[in-house]
Each structure stands twice: as C-alpha cells, then as structure tokens.
Structure 1
C-alpha cells in the first residue's frame, strides 16, 4: 500500500521500516507493527512527518456524462455506458460506466495528481481508506436545471450530488475526525462540468420545447447562469476551495448535432451561438464569486476553445476526423447509442469523438493538457500546474 498523508495519521519512512499508518482504535496485527504504529503517531505529534504531497490531495468531481465514472451503473436509467464497446481501451478492456473508449477527463486529471482514480460515490467500494482519495458524484444526463434530462428518469441531479457531498463528509469525519475531514475537503481539487445538457437535452431537445417557449435564448442563458451561481456558491459553502469549472464545448459540432442539424458537415450555428452566449457569462460569475470571496477559488476552463482546436483542425492533432464518431450509426455515426451492433472504428486514436456526444480518451488527454499548462486563454486566472505549485508552497 502506498503511503498517503492523512493529516496527523501520516506515514514516515525509515531504512528498516515500511510505511505504516496508525489508525486510532485499530490494533496492529503484530507487536512490531503495533510498536511502529505508536512511533508513527508520536512522530506525527512532534511534527516528524513530511508535509502533504500533491499526490495526497483529494479530488471531487461533479457534473454530467463527460465526467461520470459510473454512478449511473447503479441507477435504473437509460443514461448509462455499462455495455461493450464502452471501455474497449481501458486497462480492463471492459465497460465501467464511463462514456469513453478508455479513460475520461477525471481519470487523466487523477494521473496528473499522482493519485488513484476517484470511485463513483454509489460504488460499494467507496469506503474506508478509499474515501481519502475523494469521490466522483457525476451522473450522465443531468444539467444545471432539475428538468434537464427528464427523459432519463432516475439520474443524480446536481442538488442531489451536493447532498451526497455532505453525506460523504460525514463518512470522512467518522474515519479521520471532523477537523481533519474539513481540512482534507478544503485542500482538495474539485472539478464541475455542467451546462451542455441544458441545451441539447432540454432547450433544443425537441422543436418548441417547454423551455424554448418560456425563454428566448439570451434570457434562457441568463436564467441558467443565475442558477449555476447558486450551485457554485453552495459548493463553496460545503468547503470547496479549488474548483475548476468547465464551460460548454462546441455543442453544434458533436456528431449527434451534425447528424440532426447539419446539411454540409458544418457545425450547427444555433447551438454554437448558445455556447457563445453561455461561456462568457459563466466566466463573469466566476470572477464575481472570487471577488466576493476574496480568493481565487473558482478557475474557469475554456472547454469550448480546448475542444474547438482539434474540431477545427483535426489533422494538426493527429486525428483523421473530428466529424464522424468512432462508434455509432447513421450520418457521422451520430444517430442513437453506441452499442455492440454499432459501427466501430479500428483505431480510436485517429478519432476525436468516441460516440455521438463524447470525446475519445486521446481527445480528453488534449483537453487535460490545456488544463495543466494552458495560457489564460484556456485557464483563468491560472492553470492546474500553477495551482499545484502554489498549493504545494503553502
């Protein structure tokens, strides 16, 4: 087992001892192990253990199918990716509930943190020491609004995800104590991805949808932004202090929308307009929240720009196409679900899109690279590498 920094329960290395974690209330199996545990505890009290490393920080994920690690596997919903060929390029080569041929964006961020992949919150494996890694609360199909994704019925809407975050913190407190749990949450990295479904699975889901009759597009965007502000404010109240907030990608360019709306293979202008209205206003409320808090808690990730780079010029990134999905059927492989009966490309690395809506693992790696080292055009006010460096110096 790799040693982790657990607040006062830290592991110290000596030439003759393996890392040992002292857990109050648990008797070590042997006298020597018990003695080592006592030594570790004493050294922790005396400040003899090293400061937490970046690999030790927890990671929490909220949002939709772009970041869902498998929560929907445990729900009675059609919004799930638990059948082949999903996961074909994952380490197990089996579907895990990720809407990807392999790893998704949270997995790749975990790699950059030097940490284990976060488990879905609903996973029965998320208990004990696994809680220290963090948790993924995301659920495919959800949006900012509660009525987004109603066709998927039983999904974890964002308010419920936040309730689960509170529940998680109680479990963590029971494991390591309230003060250490609070510190671990405060020091964690958080990723939240919302908004895309509020357009493709709500406003534009059907012609003359309820929301499109209720709001003109600019008014709908303002309504979404005002609701998102409340969600982010609540996330801060629950202890999040480093939050990466992604805007929507180029919604009109995904294979599903090309199949439904494009006559010539060009991105749909109406959905691109929606993203163009939403993303700048999202940046504005993040700036306003940071100003109100007095600290750079919220970091804007320009997902539109990150994705649009390879969508507009796929060959420059080594892709053969950014229009046709690897897995699917119909025009651009953009109709219906990716199933065992779908067309399946032989080389996923040459496709920007895995299915009708979601990028391949290789495209996700391009996005995370922007998050890590991108300029202020992509990450504002700082990129993830800067965040990690700053927090390590504290």
Structure 2
C-alpha cells in the first residue's frame, strides 16, 4: 500500500474518533477519559532519511533537516494531544546504516554503514528536548522517549549479548527479497525456518523477536523509555 504521512495518519485517527463517539461511547466525556488512559506509540522517521533525504545535500544541512523533522513531528503530536491523547511514547530512529537494504548497496567496514547512522543521530539528539517541552507546555501530558537506537545498534553488533534464545543473524533478512533487500519479500517463497534467530525480517524491518525485546525493555526499564517506564506510565 501507499505510505501515509503522520499528518494523514492523525487525520484518519480524527475521522475514526468521530465514528467511535456515536457507536462505542455514550458521550464525548467517556471517549476523552478512554483516550487519556490510552498509550500512543509513535515510531516514525526512518523513511525520511532512507528515501527522502537528498543525496546531494551537504553534511552541514543535516541539522536543518533534523530540525525540520522534529518541528513537523511536534506539530502532529500537539494535534494528537488536542484530540485527547495524553500518554505518548515516541521512538528514536534506529540505526538505518545497519539494515540489509543499506549495507548491501554501500561499501562499509564492519556490520554497518556508519555515515548513514550519523545522519539519524542528529535527529535523535533533538528528540528529548522537544518531548520535554511538550510535556511542560501541554497540561496533563506525558511524552516518553524510546531509546531504540542504542539497543538496536548493540543487538546488531553484539547479538550474543542477548542470550542463546535470541537471534543469531543480525545481518541478513529472514525472507528472500528482491534486489538485495531494496524491494520487499518475494511472494510465495518460504522464509527462513527459524524466524526468531534473525534480527531482520526483510531488507528494512526488524523481526518479531526484536520488537519483543524493545517492548520488554520499554515496559520494565526507565532507561530505555524515559523519563519512566510504561509500567509507571500506566499508573499515572
């Protein structure tokens, strides 16, 4: 399907709320209370760097690009707040220089194309201040920063650190892909036998076992989702 911008996704969410109010909730107050207790998770931005960041830009423009993205993200988060969201987790962009679609197309040493990773580092460094500003300015809100980059990078570089029950291959996709991972999985071709042993499902996306790792850390560990864990956020 088509890629939808966050602006379009928030717009669709707004349309959904209109339908829910008359069908699933007796009043706008009941819907508002439900939304205020809900947890919204936003994971976005990697496509902006993989697909949209112009290859001809000079390196000193990366900060301006990161500012543009965080500004647009802040605006959409405020829209969500105005629609009733109060508890929002925003994930960092992961190490895009480590995904198979990038490593297969770029010369590099080690497991990752580090100059690609440095691009998203600028954006990730701006997230905490932006989220803290929203928490301070929007009454009753809690914005958490999901530190996905450092956990993802460590898991890719040192998969053995995560025990025998976790993935072993952190370089190749589980499914057979077109064009060395640039395109999606080839239809009707069997994927790998042990999906839980692969970090990547396809050329771009982590596998279920990786998302399970992220979720577990965010639920229980305030150093992964800060300034507090999801367990703490639920009680607020």
What TM-score do you get using the length of structure 2 for normalisation?
0.89
Higher relative contact order at CA 8 Å, sep ≥6: structure 1 or structure 2? 2
Supply the distance in 2 between the matched residues of 1:173 and 1:357 (Cα, whole angstroms): 37
Aligned residues: 231
Give 1:269's aligned residue. 114
CA contact (8 A) 1:306 1:370 kept: no
CA contact (8 A) 2:178 2:184 kept: no
Is there any run of 5+ residues in structure 1 with no aligned partner, and where?
1-76, 78-153
**Counterpart mapping for 1:28-177 below 5 A:** 77=1, 154-175=2-23, 176=25, 177=27
SS in 2 for 1:299: strand
Find the partner of 2:227 among 375, 381, 384: 381
Supply the distance in 1 between the matched residues of 2:232 and 2:178 (Cα, whole angstroms): 43
Give 1:344's aligned residue. 191
Shift of 1:281: 0.2
| Residues 336 and 384 of structure 1, relative CA distance in 2, 3 Å threshold | same
Supply the distance in 1 between the matched residues of 2:191 and 2:3 (Cα, whole angstroms): 28
Supply the distance in 2 between the matched residues of 1:336 and 1:155 (Cα, whole angstroms): 14
CA contact (8 A) 1:218 1:277 kept: yes
In our comparison, the structure showing a higher alpha carbon Rg is 1
Give 2:97's aligned residue. 252
Q: Is residue 2:21 matched to residue 1:186? A: no
Shift of 1:246: 0.7
Shift of 1:189: 1.1
Supply the distance in 1 between the matched residues of 2:29 and 2:178 (Cα, whole angstroms): 55
Shift of 1:158: 1.7
Q: Is residue 2:218 matched to residue 1:356? A: no
What TM-score do you get using the length of structure 1 for normalisation?
0.55
CA contact (8 A) 1:262 1:268 kept: yes
SS in 1 for 2:119: helix
Supply the distance in 2 between the matched residues of 1:157 and 1:173 (Cα, whole angstroms): 25
Shift of 1:306: 2.5
Supply the distance in 2 between the matched residues of 1:366 and 1:276 (Cα, whole angstroms): 21
Q: Deviations over 1:90-123 (max 9, x none)?
A: xxxxxxxxxxxxxxxxxxxxxxxxxxxxxxxxxx
Q: Deviations over 1:132-170 (max 9, x none)?
A: xxxxxxxxxxxxxxxxxxxxxx44322221122221111
Shift of 1:173: 1.3
| Residues 381 and 184 of structure 1, relative CA distance in 2, 3 Å threshold | same
Q: Is residue 2:80 matched to residue 1:235? A: yes
Supply the distance in 1 between the matched residues of 2:197 and 2:176 (Cα, whole angstroms): 16
Supply the distance in 2 between the matched residues of 1:178 and 1:329 (Cα, whole angstroms): 47
Shift of 1:203: 0.5
| Residues 181 and 295 of structure 1, relative CA distance in 2, 3 Å threshold | closer
SS in 1 for 2:41: strand
Shift of 1:192: 1.1
Q: Is residue 2:67 matched to residue 1:219? A: no
CA contact (8 A) 1:373 1:384 kept: yes
Shift of 1:257: 0.8
Shift of 1:309: 2.6
SS in 2 for 1:323: strand
Find the partner of 2:158 among 301, 309, 313: 313
Supply the distance in 2 between the matched residues of 1:178 and 1:294 (Cα, whole angstroms): 19
Supply the distance in 2 between the matched residues of 1:181 and 1:330 (Cα, whole angstroms): 45
Supply the distance in 1 between the matched residues of 2:151 and 2:189 (Cα, whole angstroms): 28
